[in-house]
Structure 1
């Protein structure tokens, strides 16, 4: 898909590679930096498993919903346990990521800085990361249609008609999900400025492994949308992008 076909007001980057050979099949600004939203969750899980070994029942109670249904409470618990920014430093060193950095605000795992290129590299790494990587991939193969927050996470890759083998979605800036209630008392949280990434516009990302004939592809598409864009509009936009990219 040509860059000029990206809808006006939308910032998008993508990378598609062959999982086995690393041949680049599609690319566009794949090193542009975005806030991660939930795309950081596989890194949180991999780091936890690398340090803890075989997951206990208590570990699974956090890891499975975090990876399958993008559970934020589980991510926050594991983020704190792992030392927050130290998780990012360890996984960057292990995988060889070049565009991924910790957030300015250590409380905000969703503001980790990453690129589509690093998401693809991370997904490829999981396939060679032994038992820890296979555990993460197995959970991503059992993705649920809805996130724990109630948002429909079937946008992008699964909605495009692609044969999805494993999936991790990300979103930020769309307000509370259908299953969420405002905290009491309601409080405004002021974001710490970060010149590296856009913290304002709604972000929606789709990534995973896709089967195409006898090939396994690794795909990451990251997007930012105009302020005020609703969920359905952003989901439709990124789904059409994916269809065009994989066509």
Structure 2
């Protein structure tokens, strides 16, 4: 349950904005107005049926990816091996929980196995991602820089250009995303909480500690650390605009018939923001984005 007044205020504003004469053009409220000035928010909605981005804000701002980069890790794995490659069981046991349950350990294994930062470089070049940069400290895949616009491009590539086998593998797993992540955090914020109907989603978060605020699943069995991880203390200087310190929480995914709509909402919170506050705020903004897009496109 959202314990703040953010969502009621956003919904009220949206309802008020729709109370206009039928002959007038709808005035679409700004979803970003739902967040305080010290919160960074970037978002984009792309309607594949209309063939255009219908709503955006700060869509080219570079923000660290956290676990959203797992989309690129999975896509690169498939692209570099070809459609006739039979994924061995040990890699299926990495790819599936990485996509469905945001398994960090699996991502770290695949990151190292497939070339570290070269994964991001290959995908950025192939997909034409203009804002995406590999992490300066290649040991932390979660420090990859992305933008809302580039994440939309990733989904568009998967849905519209990738081999049907890759599309089916990635989207089927995202449509089966679990409520609980492998690390015990509840990942049902944002898209799955704010958008009705069938959704596919990949979430991301960083700097909220290692222990969830309440149990979601039994803690995973201990596994030895790997030479790569989602985040940690940066040892090299990132591009000036990429913040590695503030808590990050992101929601990305699709909704509508045949994954018609692609939605990406990225946020950076003030240092010290707790999980529940960030999750409630991100869900409220995502709801506002969804409703604003409905006003625009139906």
TM-score (norm 2): 0.77
1:176 aligns with 2:219: no
Report the equivalent of 1:129: 162
CA distance in 2, matches of 1:148, 1:129: 28
What does residue range 78-227 of structure 1 map to in structure 2 within 5 Å?
78-127=110-159, 128-130=161-163, 131-178=165-212, 179=219, 190-191=233-234, 192-194=236-238, 195-211=240-256, 216-227=260-271
Q: Deviations over 1:10-44 (max 9, x none)?
A: 10000001124431211101000100000000110
Q: CA deviation at 1:202?
A: 0.4
CA distance in 2, matches of 1:99, 1:8: 24
For these two proteins, the number of residue pairs brought into alignment is 243
CA contact under 8 A between 1:95 and 1:121: conserved in structure 2? yes
CA distance in 1, matches of 2:65, 2:188: 18
Higher strand share: 1
Which of residues 56, 64, 77 is equivalent to 1:27? 56
TM-score (norm 1): 0.92
CA contact under 8 A between 1:34 and 1:114: conserved in structure 2? yes
CA contact under 8 A between 2:195 and 2:290: conserved in structure 1? no
1:232 aligns with 2:276: yes
CA contact under 8 A between 1:88 and 1:101: conserved in structure 2? yes
Q: CA deviation at 1:90?
A: 0.8
CA contact under 8 A between 2:127 and 2:157: conserved in structure 1? yes
CA contact under 8 A between 1:37 and 1:170: conserved in structure 2? yes
Q: Deviations over 1:130-150 (max 9, x none)?
A: 112321111111100011000
Q: CA deviation at 1:110?
A: 0.2
CA distance in 2, matches of 1:6, 1:163: 25
CA contact under 8 A between 2:191 and 2:252: conserved in structure 1? yes
Counterpart secondary structure, 2:263: strand
Report the equivalent of 1:67: 99
CA contact under 8 A between 2:74 and 2:170: conserved in structure 1? yes
CA contact under 8 A between 1:18 and 1:215: conserved in structure 2? no
CA distance in 2, matches of 1:71, 1:45: 12
What is the root-mean-square deviation in Å for CA atoms of aligned residues?
2.1
